[in-house]
């Protein structure tokens, strides 16, 4: 994923830790808002006990089993919507959770959606991020690629320098 425009299905396909690393610094455009992704988390499906797909396919997790370039949206603790970028090929469960972002455009709209939030916390945390950009359960399975996709990921700059990335 070099600097440039909208990410393609090929850009979003692959090993979840590699896709997660590549998504850092990318821009998510959704619901009249643009965020720079500042925190992501990789899940390797059936091989990862932390993944919703660990125990196999269910109606809830169907989207996580590919193809890449779609959103997997779910409710966390019955309270917040959270979203993942699906990165596994058809039949393979793999995704990257979008954990946090920095608001670049649409801040007034985000403040309307999150009126009690501090500037720092507008999109910090997976539930806050989805609220900031207006993603809900109705967006489960939505495309991130193609001209008619309701959401988009862009890479306007090159990758975030390694010295600025922390993993754990």
- pTM exceeding the 0.85 threshold for the entire prediction: yes
Contacts of 100 (CB under 8 A, 6+ apart): 37, 38, 39, 123, 124, 125, 126, 128, 129
Residue 138, judged by CB atoms within 10 A of its CB (0-12, 13-18, 19+), counts as: exposed
Taken in order of first residue, the domains within the chain and their CATH numbers are: 9-142 (3.10.300.10)
Encoded tokens for 14: 């692959």
Which tens digit of pLDDT belongs to each residue from 41-90? Answer: 999 887 778 888 878 888 889 999 989 999 999 999 889 999 999 999 99
- CB neighbourhood size of 129 (10 A): 29
């Amino acid at each position: 994923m070099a600097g440039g425009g909208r990410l393609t299905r090929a850009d979003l396909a692959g090993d979840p830790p590699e896709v997660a690393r590549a998504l850092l610094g990318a821009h998510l455009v959704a619901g009249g808002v643009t965020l720079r992704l500042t925190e992501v988390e990789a899940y390797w499906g059936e091989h990862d006990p932390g993944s919703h797909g660990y125990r196999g396919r269910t109606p809830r997790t169907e989207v996580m089993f590919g193809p890449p370039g779609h959103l997997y949206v779910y409710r966390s603790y019955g309270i917040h919507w959270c979203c993942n970028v699906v990165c596994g090929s058809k039949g393979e469960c793999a995704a990257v959770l979008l954990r946090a972002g920095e608001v670049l455009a649409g801040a007034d709209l985000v403040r309307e959606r999150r009126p009690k939030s501090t500037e720092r916390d507008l999109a910090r945390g997976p539930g806050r991020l989805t609220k900031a950009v207006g993603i809900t359960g109705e967006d489960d399975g939505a495309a991130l690629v193609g001209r008619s996709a309701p959401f988009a990921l862009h890479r306007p700059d090159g990758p975030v320098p390694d010295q600025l990335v922390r993993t754990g």
